[in-house]
Structure 1
């Protein structure tokens, strides 16, 4: 059975492992530098401090993935716009858990009066794009060749979801 809850300190090792796996083995996070537990502790504390949710999905007591949103841009004019992030443990992909997590952070964002959620997705990540489309995200643009990972040039698909309509 899958359950969702707010992440806490006991989840940091699982979040760290999922995050570093995405860095090392996917094009989802455009960096080559793995992070350590201290970085994830600071990241979680910073999310809590500003009120951005971090939600974990548990399957039979195991953290299967997590989702959050944060500022899309730092200037105050964008304060009602957020960008989502969803990462799953490889063993739990394709089981609908990403949809549960995305639905929950959309619900929280709407409840908090946010206006738009943005998804910046590597254009070849069709699974993530389709997931977002199922929740009503539409394509807002494509930036060609702006990223690099594994010595490949990457395109960025930008999707948007109005939250207040």
Structure 2
């Protein structure tokens, strides 16, 4: 089931996130992060009223999703960048799809206009999962990162949501 992330979920979130750092190009980071890093991340998300949701079955957190500002400047207020991570032992079971659908629903509820996913171009499974839900390719930055001895291309996928009826500047 999907529910809001709690502070006591952070050890599981840490494990899932660090696996993505160490074993994939889903995160362009080299070293695992600490629990304190995830606590700070969690507190900042909560202070900013930004969602963090988890998929849990039988008291086991199997994945999580979140979104945050796409860029720090005010004109980007209606655009968010999301992330979805699933524990490697539970991939291929539709958990990522359910988390992504829910984070989209939350975005709609919060008047998000554009949802962005930054996806390593070689991550075909993630690309297909996003396209299945209506995301379209909006550009690729060639050689945006370097990890595991190779250059990585970063593709951006976007989903246009309803957004506010009357957007406000400032």
| TM-score category (smaller protein) | over 0.9
2:3 maps to what in 1?
Answer: 5
2:42 maps to what in 1?
Answer: 44
- Distance in 1 of aligned mates of 2:147 and 2:162: 35
1:97 maps to what in 2?
Answer: 95
Deviations 1:9-29 (A, max 9, x none): 110000000011100000010
Q: CA deviation at 1:144?
A: 1.0
Deviations 1:78-110 (A, max 9, x none): 111000100010010000000100000100010
2:66 maps to what in 1?
Answer: 68
Number of aligned pairs?
Answer: 163
- Distance in 2 of aligned mates of 1:10 and 1:89: 17
- Distance in 1 of aligned mates of 2:98 and 2:75: 30
1:148 maps to what in 2?
Answer: 146
- Distance in 2 of aligned mates of 1:154 and 1:88: 21
Q: TM-score, normalised by structure 2?
A: 0.94
- Distance in 2 of aligned mates of 1:146 and 1:5: 34
Q: CA deviation at 1:138?
A: 0.3
- Distance in 2 of aligned mates of 1:160 and 1:154: 19
Question: Which residues of structure 2 form unaligned runs of 5+?
Answer: 164-170
Deviations 1:111-158 (A, max 9, x none): 011100001100000111111111100010111111111121000111
Question: Which residues of structure 1 form unaligned runs of 5+?
Answer: none
Runs of 4+ in 1 over 3 A off after TM superposition: none
Matches within 5 A, 1:71-90: 71-90=69-88
Q: CA deviation at 1:60?
A: 2.1
